[in-house]
A and B are shown apart, each in its own frame.
Chain A
Amino acid sequence: MSDATAGGAPRADHLLVADMVSPGARVLDVGCGDGALLRLLAERRDVDGRGIELSQKGVNDCVAKGLSVIQGDADADLADYPADAFDYVILSQTIQATRNPRVVLETMLRVGRRAIVSFPNFGHWRVRAALALGGRMPVTQSLPVAWYETPNIHFCTIRDFVALADEVGATVERAHALGPGGARLGAAHLGFWNLFGAQAAFLLRRGR
């Protein structure tokens, strides 16, 4: 079997997520795409991984690689899992594309003991500048698709996400922000992250 890095180096946000997962855990990756993160987790964290993916091509790719993936989406199919079925439920770069992000996050925290959410930050200065100065919806490295074609219907900033986590009664255990080049931003100050983070990843625990 080829390594998860066969198609190139692992993505920076995937490595960030992998850092948050303890070895040998039971993991559900919601919106797992072609399974790159699941394979990374299997190889580096020895997880028992499962996935949910909407696109048939994504599911086909995953199953062909030997991953346990079901066709479905976060809004419709997550609710069918029993409580505490997983140690971690991961939503990688997908929450902004769900119909009901709040319900999805609550369900993740029911199905998994912990939730890991990574997302593009709509508060990044380039986004703000595109909107404030250019007067156009931003098209950036993290948000590469024009507004009329994007599957992203619920954008949020890092501050917005922190507020949602608080609203659903979750505790932020760990958080990281990445700059546009994929480098981790050091200073753990929300305002700084919200301006200079192109994307962020949060590890949440159920309850306070």
Chain B
Amino acid sequence: MPVDTSPPRDVRSLFPRLEALLPHVQKPIQYVGGELNSTVKDWDATDVRWALMYPDAYEVGVPNQGVMILYEVLNEQPDTLAERTYSVWPDMEALMREHGLPQFTVDAHRPVSAFDVLGLSFATELGYTNMLLALDLAGIPFNSADRTMDHPIVIAGGHSAFNPEPIADFIDCAVLGDGEQAVLEITDVIRAWKAEGRHGGRDELLMRLARTGGVYVPRFYDVDYLPDGRIQRVVPNRPGVPWRVSKHTVMDLDEWPYPKQPLVPLAESVHERMSVEIFRGCTRGCRFCQAGMITRPVRERSITGVGEMVERGLQATGFEEVGLLSLSSADHSEIAPMTKGLADRYEGTQTSLSLPSTRVDAFNIDLANELTRNGRRSGLTFAPEGGSERIRKVINKMVTEDDLIRTVTAAYSAGWRQVKLYFMCGLPTETDEDVLQIAELAKKVITTGREVTGSRDIRCTVSIGGFVPKPHTPFQWVGQLGHEATDARLAKLRDAVRSDRQFAKAIGFRYHDGKPGIVEGLLSRGDRRVGKVIKAVYDAGGRFDGWSEYFSFDRWMTAADQALADEPVDVDWYTTRDRDNNEVLPWDHLDSGLDRDWLWEDWQDALTGTEVDDCRWTPCFDCGVCPQMGTEIQAGPTGATLLPLTVLNSARDRVLSTADAE
């Protein structure tokens, strides 16, 4: 029997009270739970209970791989329980406040405040106000210092946790890196603490977690500031707390084939497909890319491991599309035999494959044809990121205009008519000229398409977003381009695309204004003083900041002016200011494995347009991760192949059996 020394709590289902509210809200199904492959466990048969939250709307959160993986890993443990909770929309929030209904999980509709842990996965900093909304509705004090033994431990994970300083006051802990093993280690610490009678209270539990070296407890560190506002130092304020906290790295993905039973919601979600992560990490070395920097080294799942996950997942879900996920999927050492093997296996079953991230130089037509053999032919998307050869060298994208033209030529020749290109605006050293080159590139793409197909029915969509410098990247020191300058540059590009009548109708242009990027920049590279701004924005009604219909730039700026009035810093200081090498950055005590000196050198290389090749096929360039973290590249090829599946038709035999017998 599990030992639970916590006081008894009312964990009866809130569903009867919720049910009365559901007829009055939009898309009520999102609050109902009961998704295929979801789990409801007996509360009393477990002793450590996690509420997992993706702090955005259900339709965005439910397909999130991170939450899905942790949900399954935790629920597989006999004495551990995990349920999910998502942000509620303002219509539901108003009703919950009116009727006194607290933040609930969708699995068993239990109050979030009754769990041992509230674990939040932050894919973007724009979810911070939604965390405050959940804490508020759950009845959990905003500040970790105000919480008691009656409240869950609030843990932040996800990429944003690599600089959790802006939310340091609101969270109890942050975990950097891969969560699969980390959640189990944390569960063990909590279980032991509870079994021993919860001696020492929250402080003792947080201390035990901090001592592992893999859990960051912000309150155990003091931050001192210089008179000019820069950080003087960040130091542990009690013995036994490590100076630096390390990220977690799962080394053998084949040992972690999660999710095995992906969730299938009834409600429509942003990803109507099943996803299999074919590798984790990326060493292409794009300097703007935080994901590539903080997830090193590359760890491939084997071709047979991928095959098993696809097979099991399709049987469990019935999805008709499988996304082969990673940061750059065509880079898997066995991508060709993998896609061919999967296309062979699922021939005639209307099952399509997709590679959500494909590099221009790694794409080829054989690959594309395998992807569309059994299903629908969607558009092709590539991300040259920068418009000019010069800027692509600055960001180390390592893709030339020739690469792009060669690839689109092949694609148009093979029957595609539509190509989508992603770019960024506001990259370091960028000028108007670099951005205007995007128009020239798009025109060349259209011209090429018209030549090789002999048709004028050719489209190219240019999507462009503002660049936000991120922690743990070579661009962590660079000043962000202001939103006015971003908007002015985008307007010039729009005019350049539209002015040429030869191309105006063939090129679609999608862009966002620069204001949300400034808020993202403030939250990405902010320090603990930014917490006051987040709280002020929440108090002023800020929620769902990732949604343009809810985001208010003015609300953020007003809140920042007021909250930072007594500080020597402001929004510009956090966003558009260049930092120099000796400034203490808010996240310097959080160890992503990257050597700070290497990051600085890479930043200097960027300024001279010096490119750095991928360490998978050239010698190590000493980014520092492998020696620091005790890891190494895990890549194939394994030489294995995917054999045809004989069991694929067993279910069909069942429905056909009687008819065949007749």
The answer to whether A binds B is no
A-binding residues in B (CB < 8 A): none
B-binding residues in A (CB < 8 A): none
